[in-house]
Amino acid sequence: MQGSSRRTGTMTDVHRRFLQLLMTHGVLEEWEVKRLQKHCYKVHDCNAPVEKLEDFIHNINSVLESLYIEIKKGVTEDDGRPIYALVNLATTAISKMASDFAENELDLFRKALELIIDSETGFASSTNILNVVDQLKGKKMRKKEAEQVLQKFAQNKWLIEKEGEFTLHTRAILEMEQHIRETYPDAVKICNICHGLLIQGQSCETCGIRMHLPCVAKYFQSNSEPRCPNCNDYWPHEIPEVFDPEKERGAGLSKPSRKSLRPRQH
Amino acid sequence: MPGAPTYPQFPLRAPLSGRRASCSDAEVPACRGRAPAAGDMLPKPRSRGRPSSQADRDGGRGGDGRAARSAAAEEAPSTSRGAGGSQDPRRSSSQGGRRADAPLVVGPRSQKQLELKVAELVQFLLIKDQRKIPIKRADIVKHVLGDYRDMFPDLLHRAAERLQYVFGYRLVELEPKSNTYILINSLEPVEEDAELRGDQGTPTTGLLMIVLGLIFMKGNAVKETEVWDFLRRLGVYPTKKHLIFGDPKKLLTEDFVRQRYLEYRRIPHTDPVDYELQWGPRTHLETSKMKVLKFVAKVHNQDPKDWPAQYCEALAEEEDRARPQASAPSQASARSQTSTRPPTSAPSQTSTRPPTSAPSQTSAPAPSS
């Protein structure tokens, strides 16, 4: 039936197992995805050479296209780690999320999202979010309950919590970027380098343009005198290091604490 | 009830009505009526989005659903209209009589629109099956198909084909003519999968496997009192909260029943009232007597053939399934349902081994599922 003239890839059990397992995660880091890929090869087809991840994913995406789903690659805003998420293209916003949360919970998320987008730092304090609990649609929610809902969002990787403040998880950005840009066109911040949606980043104190931390890292790499690409003024912030996967794996498997990154620099 | 269907959508989409799985009209255009290009799925929402967001900016957030909705009504040629022109997508009686008046409404639906419908259906089925709740045809029609309901068989078939080809899931009807569906994994689970999963499977599967094993070994039905007698030896009580399983009573008599893994029936004329537990239709579809027997054998560190009666029964079921039937899944369930306690399993002394090796079973919850 899907015999359309589109040039689509071929699914094998390797790809199917990969997809099934990928679906159990909301988002995965690149090294985890590679491990998953290797595992699936091992289970089904030990002898075949493991395809390059980029091609492997591209192949699957060409099949997923007709289902309006995509495995999207992104980069974490704080330290530039590559990550992958399965996003829904057709109805965009998180139908998965919608089925896991109640109306008032979703509204809480929406409020948090708006506060995050409006904030200077890309973080909204727990206090500010909880203050709007009275305005939520649906069943009345108490602050205590709202705190737990926010934790649930963090556990499910829609939000990230840092020291009592919340920002958007990369997964949410990947899934919702388009929707956010359309719904809040005046409030959203855009990175001057990659032109993608920007929640956390650094900004020029003179002209106000903003850049993602990983974009800053790449742009100013080995530049001893970083200057704003827009107004040429001296760039006043600490330049983060470019993410190096090799260094990361050496240090251990958990998220490293990058010494040079203070996520909220403006 | 609005005629325009939706399926669960995150309410941050322009409609902002935020009702889970409800048929909010404004949500309709969000997923139809477009020629989707990769990455640009939403020309309509753009225009809807702005008015609502500006209203947000000016007049505070919330309550802008109405603006979005009216804009949507004008702009969105929802896919359910097909060749239609300026119909109001909120016409609530689009089925039946209306259709007779305006046959053009059900006009030729473009390939793209159908494809989008199938995509929505696939996602709907995946999401619903995550909870292990069987999916009803009525829900499919209400939340996904709507005006496309006349194409239910075709769309379902296409969705099933996609599910199998892309994900390796088989869409099966729970019982013949039940109009409820579940997804069965056509890939064999592998032990290492468990380490790589994101959701850790569910620890409750262990308890389920034990109970399924018990039911089969006892002749395909077991009294609830017997189940608790057995589980007590493993430190699982109906009335006591369990560290891993939570509320075992609720699990066995409600959750697993709702998920159709177990059947829970009252035994008439019992005083105090007792219930009987049997395998549910989902169990018959997802696993087999042989698999469960192997699990039980493994737990006892023995061979399945050590239980000859059960082994024969399991073997017979394997042969049944291997025989090419017209509608295999329904056959499997039908047949298993009718296989009542064979008199030969009266020698249940063989299945009373569990008590003696109960302690070893505490390590059992490592189900082969």
The domain boundary residue, chosen from A89, A115, A145: A89
Closest C-alpha among B115, B70, B124 to residue A99? B124
Query: Do the domain assignments include residue A19?
Result: yes
**Of A126-130, B56-60, B176-180, B313-317, where does mean pLDDT reach its minimum?**
B56-60
* Cβ-based contacts of A187 with chain B (< 8 Å): 57
Can you give the pLDDT at residue A25? 86
* CA closest to A94 among chain B residues: B10
Task: Return the pLDDT at B360.
Answer: 35
- Given a contact cutoff of 8 angstroms between Cβ atoms, the answer to whether A62 and A2 are in contact is no
Q: Which two tokens stand for residue B129?
A: 């099956």
Contacts of A102 in chain B (CB under 8 A): 20
Domain end residue (candidates: A57, A89, A121): A89
Whether residue B272 has a cis bond before it, omega within 30° of 0? yes
Q: Is residue A54 part of a domain?
A: yes
pLDDT of the residue at A98 = 58
A114, pLDDT greater than 60:
yes
Q: Which of A74, A89, A104 is the last residue of a domain?
A: A89
Q: Does A118 touch chain B (CB under 8 A)?
A: no
pLDDT at A39: 92
Scanning A125-154 for CB atoms below 8 A from B yields 135, 137-138
* Same domain flag for A220 and A205: yes
Whether A100 and A173 map to the same domain: the answer is: yes
User: Best interface-test mutation with B: which of A32, A86, A182, A197 has the largest number of B CBs within 10 A?
Assistant: A182
Distances (CA, A) of A73 to A94, A227, B30, B184, B328: 17, 29, 24, 29, 41
Residue B257 confidence class, pLDDT cut points 50, 70, 90 = very high
Contact predicate A159/A176, CB 8 Å: no
Q: For B181, phi and psi rounded to 5 degrees?
A: -130, 150
The DSSP line for A143-156 is HHHHHHHHHHHHHT
Model confidence band, residue B50 (pLDDT cutoffs 50, 70, 90): very low
A2 has a chain B CB within 8 A of its CB: yes
> In this predicted model, which residue has the larger pLDDT, A262 or A219?
A219
What is the token pair recorded at B204?
């409750």
Min distance A71 CA to chain B CA atoms (Å) = 12
Structural domain contains residue A252: no
In the structure encoding, which two tokens stand for residue B152, read together?
Answer: 């239910």
Residue A48 belongs to a domain with what CATH number?
3.90.1150.220
Residues of B in contact with A25 (CB under 8 A): 197-199
Q: What is the pLDDT of residues B213-248, one digit of tens each?
A: 999 999 999 999 999 999 999 999 998 898 888 899
Residue of A nearest to B7 (CA): A95
Determine if the pTM surpasses 0.80. Answer: no
Domain of A23 in residue numbering reads as 13-89
Nearest one of A198, A203, A217 to A77, comparing CA atoms: A198
Q: State whether B12 and A95 contact (CB < 8 Å).
A: no
The interface residues of chain B toward chain A in range 1-40, judged by CB-CB distance below 8 A, are 7-14, 16, 18-21, 30-31, 36, 38-39
Residue A68 shares a structural domain with residue A115: no
Residue A29 resides in a domain: yes
Write the pLDDT tens digit of every residue in B72-128: 333 333 333 333 333 343 444 444 344 444 444 455 678 888 888 899 899 889 888
DSSP state, residue B163: I
Residue B133 CB-density burial (10 A; 0-12 exposed, 13-18 middle, 19+ buried): middle
| Number of domain units in chain A | 3
Confidence of residue B160 (pLDDT cuts 50, 70, 90): very high
| DSSP characters over B190-205 | -TTHHHH-SS---THH
Q: CA A11, CA B82: separation in Å to the nearest integer?
A: 32
Give me the CATH number covering residue A164: 1.10.10.10
The verdict on a CB contact (< 8 Å) between B18 and A103 is yes
Q: Which residues make Cβ contacts (< 8 Å) with residue B68, sequence separation at least 6? A: B14, B15, B16, B26, B48, B51, B52
Shared-domain flag, residues A32 and A61: yes
The amino acid sitting at A170 is T
| Inter-chain CB proximity A103 and B8 less than 8 Å | no
CA distance, residue A7 to nearest chain B CA (Å): 14
Question: Does A72 fall in a domain?
Answer: yes
> Of B20, B115, B185, which is closest to A103 when you measure between CB atoms?
B20
Task: Give the model's pLDDT for residue A249.
Answer: 62
Q: What is the pLDDT of residue A251?
A: 57
Q: What is the DSSP string of A13-79?
A: HHHHHHHHHHHTSSEEEHHHHHHHHHHHHHHH-TTSPPPPHHHHHHHHHHHHGGGTEEEEEEE-TTT
| Helix/strand/coil for B169 | strand
Closest CA to A226 of A234, A218, A238: A234
The C-alpha angle B95, B100, B106, rounded to 5 degrees, equals 65
Q: Is the pLDDT of residue B357 over 70?
A: no
Domain assignment present for residue A152? The answer is: yes
Same domain, A119 and A39: no
Q: Does residue A153 lie within any of the structural domains? A: yes
- Note the pLDDT of residue A7: 62
User: Is the Cβ of B192 closer than 8 Å to some Cβ of chain A?
Assistant: yes
Does B99 touch chain A if contact means CB atoms closer than 8 Å?
A: no
Q: Which residue from B319, B286, B261, B320 is spatially nearest to B172, judged by alpha carbons?
A: B286
Query: Nearest C-alpha of chain B: how many angstroms from A238?
Result: 34
Q: Which two tokens stand for residue B182?
A: 């579940």
Tokens, residue B121:
């259906």
For B343-351, the CB contacts below 8 A with 24+ separation are: B344/B309, B345/B218, B345/B219, B345/B220, B345/B309, B345/B310, B345/B313, B346/B219, B347/B309, B348/B217, B348/B218, B348/B219, B350/B306, B350/B307, B350/B308, B350/B309, B350/B310, B351/B217, B351/B218, B351/B307, B351/B310
ipTM of predicted complex? 0.80
Query: Is A247 a domain residue?
Result: no
- CA A152-A97-B7 angle, 5° bins: 150
| A193 lies in the same domain as A233 | yes
Please identify among residues 235-254 of chain A the ones whose CB lies closer than 8 Å to any CB of chain B: none
Cα–Cα dist B189/B111, whole Å: 36
As a dihedral over the C-alpha atoms of residue B54, residue B57, residue B61, residue B66, rounded to 10 degrees, the angle is: -20
The residue-averaged pLDDT of A227-249 equals: 87
A11 touches chain B (CB under 8 A): yes
The DSSP result for B314-331, as a single string, is HHHHHHHHHS--TTHHHH
